[in-house]
Amino acid sequence: MTPQLSRRHFLRATGSLIALPALKSLGFRAFAAERIVARPKRMIFLGLGFGVTQETWFPDLNQPGTEYTLPDGLAPLARHKNSLSVVQGLSNQYSKDAHWGSTFWLTGANRFAEAGQSFHNTISVDQVAAQTLGKETRHSSIQLNGADPNIDGQGHGPGLSLAWNAAGKPMGGLNSPVLLFHRLFSEENMSLEKRQAMLAQNRSVLDAVLTDAKKMQRNLTKTDNDKLNEYFQSIRELETRIAKGEQWLGVPNPKAPFPEPSESLRGREEVKLMYDLMAAAFQADSTRVFTYRQPIETLIKSLGIKVAAHDMSHYAPGERMEASQLRDRSQSELLAGLLDKLQAAKEPDGTSLLDHTCVVYGSNLRSVHTLDNCPTVVAGRGAGVKLGHNLVLPRNTPLCNLWLTLLRGVGVEAERHGDSSGVIKEMIA
Amino acid sequence: MPSFDFKFPRLFTRLLNAGVLGLIAGLFSHTDAAVTEAPQASNNGVHAEMPEKYRAFFQSHCTECHGEEKQKGKVRLDNISFTVDTVKKADEWAKILNSLNSGDMPPEEAKQPAANVKADFLDALSQTMVMARKALSDQDGNITMRRLNRREYRNTLRELLGVELDVNGLPSDGGADRFDTVGAALFMSPDQFELYRDLGRKALTLSFQLAKETPKVQKQHIEPELELTAKMEKDLAYWNDIRKRYRKWTLQVDAAAKFPENVKIAAELKEKTKANPAKFYFAWDKLQGAPAPKEFGFSDAIDADMMNGRWETHAPYIADYLTQPQVKTGAYLASANIQRWINVRVPAQWPVGAYKARIRLAATKEGPTNRRFIDFLSGVNSAQLLSTHQVTGTMEEPQILEIPFKVESATGRSFAIAEKSMLGNADGFSFHDVLFASGYQANNIGPEFAVWVDWIELEGPFPSSQMTKSLSDVRSMLEQFEKDPNNALGFLNEFSQRAFRGNTPDADFLDKLARLYEVRRKGGEKPTDAILEPLSLILASPSFLYLAEPAGDEKKRSLSDLELATRLSFFLWSAPPDPELLRLAKAGALNKPEILAQQVERLLADERAIEFTRAFVSQWLGITRLDFFQFSLKTHPTFDLPTKAAAKEEVFQTFAHLLHHRESLTRLLKADFAVLNGLLAGYYGIAGVQGDAFRPVKLPAESPRGGLLGMAAILAMGGNGDQTSPVERGAWVLRKLLNDPPPPAPANVPQLNRLAGKPLTTRERIALHQEDAQCMQCHRKIDPIGFGLENFDAAGKWRTVDLRPDVPPQKREIDASGAFYKGPAFKDVFELRDLIAAKPERFARGFVEALIEYGLGRAFGFSDEDLANEIVAKAGAKDFQLPEFIHALVASKAFHSK
C-alpha cells in the first residue's frame, strides 16, 4: 500500500527535515552591507548537454577580438555582447564519450584514470569554488538538474547534476523549480527553541548511524570501505549543514519574491523560472554558486520541436537542423533573460549583480559527436576576465585552464584544476 | 548453413591466448609469440594488443613526422608499444585513435591511406581500445559492496513493513551503462540520508496505522446510466434551445432583408456570401430593422454562428445516443466530446491500497473489432493510462471484466473508463476527433457506439498475502512493545535483526537509538510515536542500506549461508530473503547443492520473481529506449499508447514464459510461437486471439513474428518513432544477439551532410557511411543487418514499401537483402533470422555476461571467462533451457564467494 503523500508534500518534507532557516532577513542584509566592503563573487555554470549547431552558433574564427558578428545562434544575446565573451578552442583531452556533454565538463577527469574501474571522476570546478565562496552563505552551493537522469539520450552522460564532490562522486540536483523555491524560501514556522532542540537531536541522530557505519567499516575490503566512505561523506556534509544551521539560527525568514511556482512547468518556462530563482537567490545571498544541468527533451518539446533530442543532435540540413537552431536561439534568449535579471539587480553599493557574477554557459560536446572546441560563453564581470571578445585560443587549449582562470578571477586560490596547464593569459583583462 | 566468422572473436581469441587461458593453471601450453611477450605488469594477465601487422601502417603514414628524428608535436610513433597494458599507454593510443577519427591525421597535405586500409586499421584499433579499457578496469572478480537500489529499497520496505511507497524521489541508480545492481555504480549522494530517513518514517507510520486497524473491505456499485443518460437529456435540451434561438434570429433577419429599404443591400450581401450563406447574417446590422443577436442570447453574430455550428456536431449525435437500445440500463462510451468516458470515483474515506474494479460490459454489433477495447485511466483532465482491456462480451451475453488497480494517495481518487485511446495522453494525437470526424462525414451524426457498460463495482482494499503477513508481524511486535513501553531496546533489537536480514545489530548502536527514544518520551511523546525516530534510523543505517559481505583484501572467501540467502533473494526477487530462506541458512543447509537448486526453483515460481524478469530483461535488452520518443501517430496511427504498452509487455511475457516452462533461450532468436494478447495479436494481424492475458500463440508458417526480431517493441526501438533506423537496429543485433558489440560511437568524426535534403532511399542515405573510413570501420558491419529488417516499419509493422515522403516513388519497394561483413548473404529477414539463430552460443554468451553482471552486481570482466564458458556449457548441455542458466550461475563458485 502506498501512503497518502503527494509529491509536493514530499518535497516540502525533505526540504525542511534538517530544518535550516531559509533566507537572510532585510536586517541581515543591512548588517552584511556594513561588514562586507567588496561585494561577494558568484558563479553560475549552465550545462546544455548536447552541443550546438556549429554552423550557426560559433562566431567566425577570422573575426577574433571585439569586432565580431554574433551569429544566429547567439543573436538573442546581442544586448549583452559587451558583457560576454565567446571562448573558442577549448577541449577536455580525456573526454571521448560522444554522448557525455556534462559528466566531465567541469572536471576534466580521465574516465579511465583508475585501474580496476571503468569510471572515475574528480571534483568539479563549482565545488572547488564553493569551498571558498560558500563559506558565508546558508547553502555552499546549489545544484539543479532539469534532465531526468533516468532518461538517456539527452547528451549529458552519467551524473546527477553537473557537480561532482571532492571524492569525484555525483552530487544530487534539485529537479524542479518548486524544489528550488522551497529550498530557498520555505516558510519556517518552528520556534527558535524547538529548532535548536531539533538541531541538537540531529547530531545525536548522526552519531547513532555513524556507530553502525563504524562497526561495518571494521571488516570491509578496501573497495567496500571506499564505498562506505560515500555514506560517511554524506553524513559529514549533513554535519556541515547542521553547523551552518546553527550559525543561521535566529535569522528570520524573508518573503519569497514571487508566489510558489506551478509544478507543471516544463521546458522553456521551467528554465526561465530556474533563472529567476537563481537571481533571487543571489539577491538574498542564500548561495553564491549554482550549477544547472539543463533539460533538453522537455525544452525542445516546449518549443514545439517534434524531433527527439538525440536525432536533433545529429542534425543535417532540414527539419533536424532547424530544430537544433531553434533550440540554440531559445537557449540564448533564456540566457539573455538571466543576464537581464542579474544586470537589473542592484547591490547595496549601486553596482549590479552581473558586475560580481561569472556565468558560464556551454557543454563538453560541440556538435553531433565532437568534443573539441567546446561551446563556451563566459558572461558577467565577476571573474574579471576580458568581455566583449570573440576569443580564439590555440586549438585544444585545456578547458580546465578556463576553470582555473575563472577560479583565480573570483578569488579562489587554486593552484590547478583537473589537467590545467595554467591560466589563459589572453583572458586576463 | 554457411559458416561465417566475425572479426571480434578472432581478436578476442588472440587476447585470450595471450592472457587468461595461458595463465589459468597452465591448462594450455602455448609457445607462440603472444605468450612469451606477455607483459609483467598487466591486469590479471590479460591485456590488449594491437596486432603487429599494423606497424606497417605507422611506417607508411606516421613515422615520417613522428619518428626518431622528427618528432612533430613531441609525438613519436616509431617505437610505440603495441602492448596496451597501462592506463598511460591506453591514453596515448586513444589520442591516436581520436586524431585519425577526427581526420586531423594524417594531415591533409600528406599521402592518405586507402579508405579500406584506414578502416581496417581503425577497426582494429577501436577493438583494441575496447579490450584495453576492459582489461584495465577488470576487477578480478571482486564484488563492490552495493547499496539497495530504488527497486530493492521499495521491495525491502514492503517485505518488512507491509506497505508500498513511491520511491521516485530518490536519486536514480546505475549509469555508465551498468545494471542497477552493480555496486560500483551505485552512489550515495549527500541528500540521500535524509531522504531515506524521511521515507522510512513515512513507511513506518503507515505500517503502524494499518497494523493497528486492518481496513475493512469496502464495496460500491455504480450504474453509469443514472448520471449519464440524464446528463445527455439535459445536454440535448441545451443544444436544441440554442438551435431554436438561432433559427428565430435568422428568420427575423431574413424577414428584415425583405424590407424595401434593405432589398438592394441584402442582394449585395447575399452575392458576397454565396459560398457560405450562413455568413450573410454576420452583416445583420447593415439591414435596417434586423434584430441584434444579443436579443436571442448570443453575444454577437459570430457567437451565434459558432454555437449553431456546434449544435450540428452535438445534437444529432446526442439524440442518436438517446435512441440506443440500452440507454436505460447502461451507458455507451462515445467517441466525441459529448461523453468520452465514465468517471469512477473512489470515496475519499476509503484507505489507500489495492482495489478491484469489476465492470459488466459488452461490444455492440455495430462497432468494428478494432474499437472493442477499453482503457482504464487515472484522472480525467490529465488522464494517465493504467491498463487496456479487450471487450469480448456481446449485448446478449455481456462479460464481467476484473481490473486490479491501486489507490495511491488521498487526492488521486478519480478514475475513468474510456474507449481505447479516446482519453488521456495519446502522444499528442486526438484520436477521438479523428474518429468523430470520420463518422460525422459519413452520416452527419457521428460514429457508431462500440462499447456498452452495464455497471461498475469497486471493491477493496485487498492487501497481498505477503503484505498481510508483514503487517501481522508488525502488529505482534507493536503489541509486545505497547505492553512494555520501557523496553524499547527489545523492540529496536528485534526490528533491526529483521531489517538487517538476520544480522545482529551493534549493542552500542541500539543503546544510542534507545536514548533517542528516551529523549522523545521525556518530551511528552507517546511510546509508539517516540519509537518512530529510532526505527527510521535503522532504515537509514548502512547495515540496512548496504548488502555488506565483510572480507579481507588478501583472498576470496566463501559466503556464509546467510549471505548466500541474501545474494540469492536479491538476485531473483530484488527483495530480502523470506523466512524459509533464512531458516535454511541458519540451519546451515542452504549451501547444499540440491537444497540450493530447490530454492532457486521455489524463488522462480514465486510471484516476486517477476522483478527479475522485468528489471533484468529491460536493462539487458535496453527496452527503456522505447519510452524516449513519441511515436508519430500520423504515420503510425495504430501504434497508440495501449499498443506500445502491449508490445513492451510481449518482451517480458515471452521471457517469463520461457523461464516458467523450461524453454530454450534460443526461442528468443527464432520461434514458431509468439506470446500475445488480443490487442497485440490484432496489431500483428493474427486472428483468433481474444482477451487480455498473454499466452503462447502458434504462428502461421509465413509469419515474420516469433523471437525478438519479430517483436514490435524491439523493432520500434530501432527507429525514432517516425522512421526506421537500420543503424540502431543493426547495432542492437550486434550487441544483443551476436555478442559482437560495435565500439562506442567515436568522438569527433566529421558529419556527412553532402546529400542531405535530396530524395533518397534509406539505403542510399546510409550508403554514405561507406565513403569514409572513419564511418566505414563500424558501419560496414552494422548497416547490412539493419537493411535486413527494413520490412518492418518504425512501429514494427510489416511493410513491403517505404512510404517516407522523400523516397522517390519508383524506389519505394523494399529490398531487405544484404550480407554480413565478410560473412554470408541473406535475401530477406527470414534468412537473416536463420543465420543469427544458427549461432545460439553467441547469443547465449551475451546473455550470460549480462546475467553475471546483474546477478553478481559487478561488471563482467576478463576474469569471468571460465565462469561464462562454464555456464554456457552447462546450459548448452540442456538445450539452453532458461532456468539452467540461473541454476548454473547460482551453483558457481563465484556466486558463493566474496
Nearest-Cα residue of chain B relative to residue A364: B747
CA separation for the pair A310, A156 (Å, rounded): 11
Rounded to an integer, the average pLDDT of B587-599 is 97
Neighbours of A31 (CB within 10 A): 12
Contact criterion met (CB < 8 Å) for A219 and B138: no
Helix H, strand E, coil C: the string for B103-165 is CCCCCCCCCCCCHHHHHHHHHHHHHHHHHHHHHHCCCCCCCCCEECCHHHHHHHHHHHHCCCC
Q: Select the more confidently predicted residue: A137 or B844.
A: B844
Nearest-Cα residue of chain B relative to residue A7: B169
Q: Confidence class of residue B862 from pLDDT cuts 50, 70 and 90?
A: confident
For residue B133, the chain A residues in CB contact (below 8 A) are 112, 118
pLDDT of residue A254: 64
All three cell numbers of B868, joined, read 561464462
Rounded to an integer, the average pLDDT of B772-797 is 93
Nearest-Cα residue of chain B relative to residue A170: B189
pLDDT of residue A256: 80
pLDDT, tens only, B839-856:
999 999 999 999 999 999
DSSP string, B414-474: EEEEEETTSSS-STT--HHHHHHHHHHHHHSS-PPP-EEEEEEEEEE----HHHHHHHHHH
List all residues of chain B from 625 to 664 with a beta carbon under 8 Å from chain A.
625, 627-630, 632
Which amino acid does the sequence have at B688?
A: G
For residue A220, the chain B residues in CB contact (below 8 A) are 145, 548, 550-551
Arithmetic mean of pLDDT over chain B: 88
Rounded to an integer, the average pLDDT of A24-34 is 36
Q: Identify the H or E element spanning B888.
A: helix B882-891
Q: The domain containing residue A114 runs over which residues?
A: 45-57+66-187+258-367+406-427
List all residues of chain B from 141 to 170 with a beta carbon under 8 Å from chain A.
142, 144-147, 162-166, 169
Neighbours of B154 (CB within 10 A): 21
Question: How many Å is the Cα radius of gyration of chain B?
Answer: 34
List all residues of chain B from 340 to 369 with a beta carbon under 8 Å from chain A.
351-354
Nearest-Cα residue of chain B relative to residue A224: B145
Neighbours of B57 (CB within 10 A): 18
The answer to whether position A327 is within a domain reads yes
Identify whether the C-beta of residue B642 lies closer than 8 Å to the C-beta of residue B388. yes
Question: How many Å is the Cα radius of gyration of chain A?
Answer: 22
Contact criterion met (CB < 8 Å) for A220 and B550: yes
In angstroms, what CA-CA distances link B275 with A85, B271, B444, B776?
60, 9, 20, 61
What is the sign of the dihedral through the CA atoms of B26, B27, B32 and B33? negative
Contact criterion met (CB < 8 Å) for A151 and B628: yes
- Can you say how many angstroms the Cα of residue A162 is from the centroid of all Cα atoms in its chain? 6
CA separation for the pair A107, A336 (Å, rounded): 26
**Which of B5-14, B79-88, B499-508, B829-838 has the lowest average pLDDT?**
B5-14
Residue of A94, A209, A311 lying closest to B720 (CB–CB): A311
For residue B191, the chain A residues in CB contact (below 8 A) are 14, 172, 234
Contact criterion met (CB < 8 Å) for B545 and A231: yes
B515 close to A (CB below 8 A): yes
pLDDT of residue B337: 66
Identify whether the C-beta of residue A54 lies closer than 8 Å to the C-beta of residue A367. yes
For residue B353, the chain A residues in CB contact (below 8 A) are 1-2
Contact criterion met (CB < 8 Å) for B133 and A224: no
3-state secondary structure of B318: helix
pLDDT, tens only, B722-773:
889 999 999 999 999 999 999 887 777 766 655 556 778 888 878 878 778 8
Residue of B98, B146, B553 lying closest to A221 (CB–CB): B553
Contact criterion met (CB < 8 Å) for B720 and A307: yes
Q: Which of B619, B610, B618 is nearest to B572 (CA)?
A: B610
All three cell numbers of A290, joined, read 549554482
B87 close to A (CB below 8 A): yes
Assess whether pLDDT exceeds 60 at residue B815.
yes
Contact criterion met (CB < 8 Å) for B163 and A3: yes
CA distance B426 to chain A (A): 15
For residue B632, the chain A residues in CB contact (below 8 A) are 306
The answer to whether position A211 is within a domain reads no
For residue B202, the chain A residues in CB contact (below 8 A) are 3, 5
Task: Report percent pLDDT > 70 for chain B.
Answer: 93
Q: Confidence class of residue B141 from pLDDT cuts 50, 70 and 90?
A: confident
Neighbours of B283 (CB within 10 A): 19
Q: Confidence class of residue B5 from pLDDT cuts 50, 70 and 90?
A: very low
Contact criterion met (CB < 8 Å) for B537 and A205: yes
Rounded to an integer, the average pLDDT of A174-191 is 80
For residue A317, the chain B residues in CB contact (below 8 A) are 753, 756-757
What is the sign of the dihedral through the CA atoms of B682, B684, B687 and B693? negative
Contact criterion met (CB < 8 Å) for B188 and A7: no
Neighbours of B279 (CB within 10 A): 15
- Can you say how many angstroms the Cα of residue B382 is from the centroid of all Cα atoms in its chain? 21
Between chain A and chain B, the number of residue pairs with CB atoms below 8 A apart is 265
Contact criterion met (CB < 8 Å) for A318 and B546: no
B466 close to A (CB below 8 A): no
For residue A311, the chain B residues in CB contact (below 8 A) are 629, 720
B453 close to A (CB below 8 A): no
Q: Which letter does DSSP use for residue A252 in this model?
A: P
**Which of A118-122, A243-247, B69-73, B182-186 has the lowest average pLDDT?**
A243-247
Contact criterion met (CB < 8 Å) for A205 and B551: no
**Which of A164-168, A200-204, B488-492 has the lowest average pLDDT?**
A200-204
List all residues of chain B from 580 to 619 with a beta carbon under 8 Å from chain A.
none
Identify whether the C-beta of residue B16 lies closer than 8 Å to the C-beta of residue B24. no
Contact criterion met (CB < 8 Å) for B546 and A7: no
All three cell numbers of A180, joined, read 528550488
Nearest-Cα residue of chain A relative to residue B355: A1
Q: Select the more confidently predicted residue: B316 or B409.
A: B316
B210 close to A (CB below 8 A): yes
Contact criterion met (CB < 8 Å) for A1 and B210: yes
Assess whether pLDDT exceeds 70 at residue A180.
yes
Interior CA angle at B223 toward B221 and B228, to 5°?
Answer: 140
Nearest-Cα residue of chain A relative to residue B470: A1
Q: Which of B428, B425, B435, B352 is nearest to B386 (CA)?
A: B425
Residue of A112, A213, A222 lying closest to B87 (CB–CB): A112
CATH 2.60.120.260 domain range(s) in chain B: 325-461
For residue A99, the chain B residues in CB contact (below 8 A) are 745
Task: Give the number of domains in chain A.
Answer: 1
Contact criterion met (CB < 8 Å) for A209 and B541: yes
B748 close to A (CB below 8 A): yes
A357-362 vs A376-379, strand pairing mode: antiparallel
**Which of A20-34, A210-224, B519-533, B876-890 has the lowest average pLDDT?**
A20-34
pLDDT, tens only, B446-456:
999 999 999 99
Arithmetic mean of pLDDT over chain A: 85
CA separation for the pair B562, B715 (Å, rounded): 43
Q: Confidence class of residue B69 from pLDDT cuts 50, 70 and 90?
A: confident
Q: Residues near B91 by Cβ (< 8 Å), separated by ≥ 6?
A: A94, A110, A112
- The yes/no answer to whether this complex scores an ipTM above 0.85 is no
Residue of B169, B185, B551 lying closest to A14 (CB–CB): B169
For residue A234, the chain B residues in CB contact (below 8 A) are 188-193
List all residues of chain B from 112 to 141 with a beta carbon under 8 Å from chain A.
133-134, 136-140
Residue of B145, B164, B753 lying closest to A224 (CB–CB): B145
Q: Which CATH number fits domain B325-461: 3.40.50.720, 2.60.120.260, 3.40.120.10, 3.90.1200.10?
A: 2.60.120.260
All three cell numbers of B772, joined, read 569514409
Q: Which of B710, B709, B691, B690 is nearest to B699 (CA)?
A: B710
Contact criterion met (CB < 8 Å) for A227 and B194: no
Q: Which of B746, B763, B775, B875 is nearest to B808 (CA)?
A: B763
pLDDT of residue A35: 43
Contact criterion met (CB < 8 Å) for A5 and B166: yes
CA separation for the pair A323, A309 (Å, rounded): 9
Which amino acid does the sequence have at B701?
A: A
pLDDT of residue A150: 60
CA distance A318 to chain B (A): 6
Nearest-Cα residue of chain A relative to residue B471: A1
List all residues of chain B from 821 to 860 with a beta carbon under 8 Å from chain A.
859
Residue B841's DSSP bridge partners are none
Residue of B89, B101, B191 for testing the chain A interface, max A β-carbons within 10 Å: B191
